[in-house]
Amino acid sequence: MLDLKPTGAGTGTAVAAREDGVQVRANVYPVQVAGVGIAIPEGRLTNADLERMVETTDEWIVSRTGIRERRIAPPDVATSDLALAAARAALNDAAMEPGEIDLIIVATITPDHSFPATACLVQAGLGIANIPAYDLSAGCSGLAYAIDQAWHALSSGAYKNALVIGADTLSRIVDFTDRRTCVLFGDGAAALVLSRREPGATPGILASNLGADGRGGSLLILPAGGSRLPASHATVAARQHYLQMNGQEVFKFAVRILEESTRRVLAKAGLTVDDLDLFIPHQANIRIIEAARERLGIPPERVIVNVDHYGNTSAASIGLALAEALQEGRLRPGMLVAMTGFGTGLTWGSILLRWTKEPNGTPAVTER
């Protein structure tokens, strides 16, 4: 573990003491969020619609999950289309041209194809080339993972502006005959432009906490279509190309890890829950959010909730909630905000931000 201590004010250089005692020099630049954009499909799937599809009720869905409707992408819209629309909106919000971006990371578990990477499709859509673009698979923790990775890439001095996108069309892998899962998920994308600032500038990203416990891999899984179980008539007949979830086990993990990871990321920055102005948890279930909020002792007015109108949008979730907080004027410069995701893997990820961006109207929202 590297413990970086800045050496000269304004130099952007730090000395890192490795565990083996060797001293290494590293560049440490502050990184800020320069733009936010989202893309959500126009099509709404309401609880009343689901009542006509499976044996369920609006009352069950609202009381057990808090979800009232979700957005579903039309057949001709894939994950990269939503990701590209969100990316354009974020660039617009940052007042930046695509050519200023030098790194693209797309967090998704529903890529357009196994390969090429969805990030490469987004890159082509933006009309740029010759910069790294790759996908990252961490489920609903994906955007937190991607922000962490881009933050380190930028703060090292290797890159200047990164486009980080969380995008999923989970409706494509949900079994709409399985009432235990089909009521939960929706489609969407959220993009952030992260920018390196000159040494001495106020850091926007203060700390991160990522983790995984692969022993829980089977609790939330898409069994078929990969190298373990290639797609075949048999896998399709067995509905193994749809996601499967052990809801109760994921629920318990979610409540525990939302609290633990949020406390850990605050502790890394020498801060506590009382310092938090805004908490943006992954939007999977209002009961998970409420249980974690109570364990953390955060008042309801400091928590962003939009699971009621988007459902669980996987990698887009915390980004959509961040954009909504901005739009509603609930996130202003100087505020301390923690975003925490959890999901398949099992994985988790928290990002701690000091919000630095002055309001630039409302974040651009593109609907398709």
Interface residue list for ligand UT7 (CB under 6 A): 56, 60-61, 64-65, 140, 179-180, 183, 220, 247-248, 250-251, 254, 284-285, 288, 312, 343
The span from the CA of 224 to the CA of 230, in Å, is 6
Catalytic residue among 47, 140, 161, 285: 140
CA–CA separation, 234 vs 230, rounded Å? 10
116/113 Cα distance (integer angstroms): 6
Is 312 designated active site? yes
Q: How far is the CB of 273 from ligand UT7 (least distance, A)?
A: 22
Q: Look at residues 298, 324, 299, 300 and name the one whose alpha carbon lies nearest to residue 310.
A: 324
Set 161, 209, 285, 312: catalytic member: 312
How far apart are CB 117 and ligand UT7 at their closest, in Å? 22
Rounded to whole angstroms, the Cα distance separating 342 from 142 reads 9
CB of 38 to ligand UT7, least distance (A): 18
Nearest distance from C-beta of residue 63 to ligand UT7, angstroms? 9
Name which of 82, 71, 182 is nearest 125 in CA terms.
82
Tokens linked to 350: 């928290």
Using CB positions, name the residue nearest to ligand UT7. 247
* Token pair belonging to 228: 């373990």
Amino acid identity, residue 269?
Answer: A
Q: How many CB atoms lie within 10 A of CB 42?
A: 11
For residue 218, give both structure tokens: 């089977």
Q: Supply the minimum distance, in Å, between the C-beta of residue 136 and ligand UT7.
A: 16
The two structure tokens encoding residue 145: 């993972």
Smallest distance, ligand UT7 to C-beta of residue 54, A: 7
Q: Quote the crossing angle between the two packed helices 142-155 and 317-327, to the nearest 10°.
A: 80
Bridge partners, residue 342, by sequence: 348
The CB-of-61 to ligand UT7 minimum distance in angstroms stands at: 6
Measured CA to CA, the distance from residue 218 to residue 184 in angstroms comes to: 18
Rounded Cα–Cα distance for residues 122 and 317 (Å): 19
As a whole number of angstroms, the distance between CA 141 and CA 143 comes to: 6
47 is catalytic: no
**Structure token pair of residue 232:** 């075949």
Bridge-based pairing of strands 187-196 and 31-40 is: antiparallel
**What are the b/e assignments for 343-352, b being 16+ CB within 10 Å?**
bbbbbbbbbb
The nearer residue to ligand UT7, 140 or 194, going by C-beta atoms, is 140
Q: Which is nearer to ligand UT7, 199 or 311 (CB)?
A: 311
Smallest separation (angstroms) from ligand UT7 to the CB of 108: 14
Q: Rounded distance, CA 54 to CA 186, Å?
A: 17
Angle between helix axes 247-268 and 286-296 (nearest 10 degrees) is: 40
66, 287 contact by CB (below 8 A): yes
* 113 tagged catalytic: no
Question: Whose Cβ is closer to ligand UT7: residue 205's or residue 250's?
Answer: 250
Active site residues: 140, 282, 312
